[in-house]
Amino acid sequence: MSLLVRLRALVALAVLVVVFSYLTPAFLTQGNLVMLAKHVALNAILALGMTFVVLSGGIDLSVGSIAGLAGMTAGWLLHDGLVLRPLGVVVYFSAPAVIGIGLLVGLAVGALNGLLVVRARVAPFIATLGTLYVARGAALLISGGATFPNLVGRADLGNTGFTLLGTGTLLKLPAPIWMMAALGMAFAFVAGRTPFGRRVYAVGDNERAAALVGIRVARVKLAVYMMSGFCAALTGLIIAAQLQAAHPATGATFELSAIAAVVLGGTSLSGGRGSVGGTLVGAFVIGVLNDGLVLLGVSEFWQIVIKGVVIVAAVVVDQLASRPGTGAVPGRQR
Amino acid sequence: MDVVLRAEAIGKVYGGIVALDDVDFDIERGRVAVLIGENGAGKTTLIRILAGVEPPTRGRLLLDGRPVRFDSPRAAAAAGIAIIHQELSLFPDLTVAENVFAGCEPRRLGVVADRARAERETRAVLERLEQPIDPRARCGGLPLGQQQIVEIARALTREARVLIMDEPTSALSSAEVTALFRLIRELRARGTAIVYVSHRLEELMEIGDRLTVLRDGRRVAVAEAADASVGWIVEQMIGRSVAATAGRPAPAAGEPLLGVEGLSLRREDGRPLLDDVSLGVAAGEVVGLYGLMGAGRTELLECLAGARTPSAGAIRLRGEAIERLDLPARLNRGVFLVPEDRQGAGIFPSLSVAHNMTLASLRAHVRRFALSPVAERETVARMASELAIASATPEIRIGALSGGNQQKVVIARALLTRPRVLLLDEPTRGIDVGAKAELRALVRRLAEGGVGIVFVSSDLEEVVGVADRIVVLSNGRVTGRFASSEASHEELVAAAALGHGRTAGKDAA
């Protein structure tokens, strides 16, 4: 019984897969599953970073905007280059350098979130709501609202290859799926097997007690927001690479899907309880639901309603399962 | 005798622990009924039952001779019973007048709050208390003493027949106490029945009419205040006239570990929480820290551990000045605090027993870049058998354990950091008798192993039984230093009840 409770997100996923396979033959085909996973990867990478923030007792609403800003930064550097007027030169960076700079932007905004939370003591919801607007505005300012088209790069400038981030394949699987898998394993390891991971849980569960056992709470919080910013930037870069264009509105409302995946995966929004594996399962539940409902031809509007119902139902199940006194430690599946 | 409210054979059990057992208590019209007892004797529990905050497990309440049941504080209030809580229950962001009338605001036409009238009546009550507090001031911005006055004013406006005061003077200056006492006498003359709880014995003798002493949840004595003496009260509180202490031979003086000099800590409003406290702890020594609630014991430990920054004073660990180091740095040097508030600051309720235990010593469980589940399991098994922790498996949530076992896990966590100085703040509070005895034995064992221990307890017997030396705090000052083999309970209680006073004691430690 307790095992069933612990694996309930996985059970829900299995049920969805079985139901959709039964209802539509198009679901359980290799082509469909790869496409599904490719879509899921974007939300999953965002949600993996979000998981640590939520485990620490916080929330990060700025991830969608960070994704947009990172994509626009990359688009700008690839398309226009860095114009150094006083020197009269334009610097073009190689694709790996552009990706690196994009990720640094994510880390920087994440650090800003973290500092607002730990230094200025702004509630995470408000701090990241602020950076949601600021980062989105910055993304629009870069191009004056325009899209950077054609990010394939030019061989004579030595900046080709960026698009491989989104369109490259290995063993027939698209790069985003590999990145999701690699990040998922790395983060699961961090959460379950490193002192840092343990401290994140501790801070989220009881901040006062965490400080008394010698945990530097501020550092832990700063780190989780930076991790989230990194994941968000990576997502933005992947999207720009897939589209071979950077659009300043990319990522709007992505934060909501990411939070939904985290919650569906059994992570408590009050912190201290949850798991990285759960988040991946949660992201897949959302992905399978999207994909299956489309294949079934369910109205787009009903799809939205159903997603909302599923998210709330998952949390209700969580509440029932984790009533105090049951002794179970939910959301701890590895 | 004109009894307004009578408690008859009241019993109260909290999760298997008996807080009150067969207690009778009469509250008479126009008299001040005083409740006395050590911390944990059951005073607050009895008051909470009288005020309808909690139902009794057994027994009944009689109002004017008729049985009543109060299902809520509101029901008790409707019957004319008002209470002034020990912990302030004000709304910090509301004004003084809004606080005074919270829940029963005067209204115009039955709907609109009549702010002018509320402010007028508040001002009138505060004038009776001789307090020039502005009814429009925000409560959270007032000094603590004035907040307490507001709390008192609130109870006064309810025109109560029975007014219960739980340690109303703990934050008041002596002038404020004088005004309060004048008011109590005035109310008494008008026929209000008053229940008064305090630790300050002199105060009780001054204001009380009838004294009821509680000990371990039982009523052990009742007397008219006129017939009682301070000595008699102490005797009743602790259960015998002269302490028959199990004298402990003074230990061979170990190497001095911790030295505290001139430690002071101020509250935001400038009142001292700790005032020039000096203290030494040697290896292998248990220093008992005794005092009443609010004496500054917890604050002292927090300053030593680095959880608070004192305003003045030096702290040395084996000669090294550590007062500028933060908590993690002190922890690395071997100073570990086990906090008083186990639920709020000790345990991680959602984490498993195992994860709770190893949290402060994670680095010692890393093998090749990762936490080793094998190493953790070994540690947990070893500590569980060493401290006799009863837990079905180490994987269950710590919240599922009993208080005693939770505390053992918290102490195991501390021991895994190999502490040199262990600061234990009321480690036996709220745990069962068996676990208490085990914890005391453990503390002695640790001391024999060379750890220096500061042991805070409100339980006199425990302090005397466990500690080698006892330091008594009162109002943030050291008011007594005793070798535990020479300390009598009477002297300890007297030192703890001292206001700001001289050092009473035998050997200066």
Query: Would A251 be classed as within a structural domain?
Result: yes
Task: Let me know whether B283 and B392 are in one domain.
Answer: no
Beginning with the edge strand found earlier in the chain, give each strand of the sheet holding B58-63 in spatial order: B17-28, B3-14, B58-63, B66-68
Contact yes or no for A198 and B397 at CB 8 A: no
- Helix, strand and coil percent figures for chain A, each rounded to 5: 70, 5, 25
On whether residue A328 sits in a domain, the answer given is no
Res B180 pLDDT > 60: yes
Cβ-Cβ contacts under 8 Å, A326 against chain B: 400
**Quick one: B51 and B195 in the same domain?**
yes
pLDDT classification of B347: cutoffs 50, 70, 90: very high
Min Cα–Cα distance to chain B from A203, Å: 9
Specify the pLDDT at position B87.
Answer: 66
For the record, the structure tokens of B450 come out as 């060379």
Instruction: For residues B18 and B145, state if they share a domain.
Output: yes
Read off the DSSP letter of residue A50: H
B492: Cβ–Cβ under 8 A, 6 or more apart, which residues? B290, B460, B463, B464, B470, B472, B480, B482
Band of the pLDDT at A83, cuts 50, 70, 90?
confident
pLDDT mean across residues, chain A: 88
- Token pair, residue A67, equals 């994704």
> How far A317 CA sits from the closest chain B CA (Å)?
17
* B350–A205 CB contact, under 8 Å: yes
Residue B161 lies in a domain: yes
- Pairwise CA distance, residues B313 & B324, whole Å: 11
Residue B223 shares a structural domain with residue B252 = no
pLDDT in tens, B78-95: 888 888 876 667 888 888
A327 in a domain, yes or no? no
A214 touches B: beta carbon within 8 Å = yes
**Digit-coded pLDDT (tens) for B240-256:** 544 444 445 555 567 88
The end-to-end CA distance of chain A, in Å, is: 17
Q: Are residues B121 and B30 in the same domain?
A: yes
Domain identity same for B136 and B159: yes
Residue B225: how many other CB atoms lie within 10 Å: 17
In a domain, B340, yes or no: no
Residues B139/B147, Cβ–Cβ less than 8 Å: yes
C-alpha span between A83 and B401 (Å, rounded)? 65
Helices vs. strands in chain B: H and E counts, helices first: 16, 24
- Do B8 and B72 lie in one domain? The reply is yes
Indicate the number of domains in chain B.
3
B202 in a domain, yes or no?
yes
Tally C-beta pairs within 8 A across A and B: 85
Boundary (domain end) residue, out of B417, B447, B476 = B417
One domain for residues B327 and B424: yes
Contact B345 A206 (CB under 8 A): yes
On whether the CB atoms of residues A72 and A145 are closer than 8 A, the answer is: no
Residues B264 and B227 in one domain: no
Total count of domains within chain A? 1
Eight-state DSSP code of residue B138:
B
Query: Cβ contact (<8 Å) for B331 and A213?
Result: yes
Give the separation between CA A56 and CA A206, rounded to whole angstroms: 9
- Give residue A331's pLDDT: 39
Convert the pLDDT of each residue in A239-260 to its tens digit: 999 999 999 999 999 999 999 9
B348 touches chain A (CB under 8 A): yes
B120 with B12, same domain: the answer is: yes
Quote the mean pLDDT of chain B. 84
pLDDT number for residue A74: 93
The model's pLDDT over B353-383, given as tens digits with 9 standing for 90+, comes to: 999 999 999 999 999 889 999 999 999 999 9
CA A36, distance to chain mean position in Å, is: 16
In a domain, B339, yes or no: no
Q: Does B308 lie in the same domain as B266? A: yes
Q: Name the residue of chain B whose CA is nearest to A203's CA.
A: B348
Distance (Å) of CA B216 to CA A327, B12, B23, B38, B164: 32, 12, 11, 8, 21
Does residue B167 fall inside a structural domain?
Answer: yes
Is A334 within a domain? no
How far is Cα A329 from Cα A322, in angstroms, rounded to an integer?
7
Residues B24 and B64 reside in one and the same domain: yes
Distances B397 to A81, A326, B197 between C-alpha atoms, Å: 55, 9, 39
pLDDT at A334: 34
CB contact under 8 A, B327 and A212: yes
Beta strand extents in B93-186 (DSSP E only): 107-108, 112-113, 162-166
Query: To probe the interface with B, which of A220, A329, A332 has the most B CB atoms within 10 Å?
Result: A329
Contact A11, A4 (CB under 8 A): yes
Q: Domain containing A80: what range? A: 2-321
Q: Does B332 touch chain A (CB under 8 A)?
A: yes
- Which one, of B161, B96, B164, lies nearest residue B127 by Cα? B96
Inter-chain residue contact B396 with A329, CB threshold 8 Å:
yes
Closest-CA distance, A88 to chain B, in angstroms, reads 49
Range of the domain at B311: 244-334+419-509
How far is it, in rounded angstroms, from Cα B38 to Cα B290?
12
Smallest CA-to-CA distance from A263 within A328, A178, A330, A191 is with A330
Q: How far apart are CA B15 and CA A83, in angstroms?
A: 73
* Other beta carbons within 10 Å of B109: 6
In a domain, B281, yes or no: yes
The CATH number of residue B82's host domain is 3.40.50.300
pLDDT at B424: 95
* Residue ending a domain, choose from B238, B255, B283: B238
Q: Which residue has the higher pLDDT, A59 or A327?
A: A59
What is the CATH number for A304? 1.10.3470
* Tens-place pLDDT, residues B214-227: 888 888 888 888 88
Q: Which residue has the higher pLDDT, B24 or B433?
A: B24
> B417, B437, B453 — which closes off a domain?
B417
CA-based nearest residue in chain A for residue B417: A213
A205 touches chain B (CB under 8 A): yes
Mutate to test the interface with B, among A212, A318, A323 (most CBs of B within 10 A): A212
CA B414/CA B396 separation, integer angstroms? 20
Give residue-wise pLDDT tens across range A226-237: 999 999 999 999
Per-residue model confidence (pLDDT) at position B1: 64
Domain contains A330 = no
Average pLDDT over residues B32-51: 84
- Domain membership of residue B342 (yes or no) is no
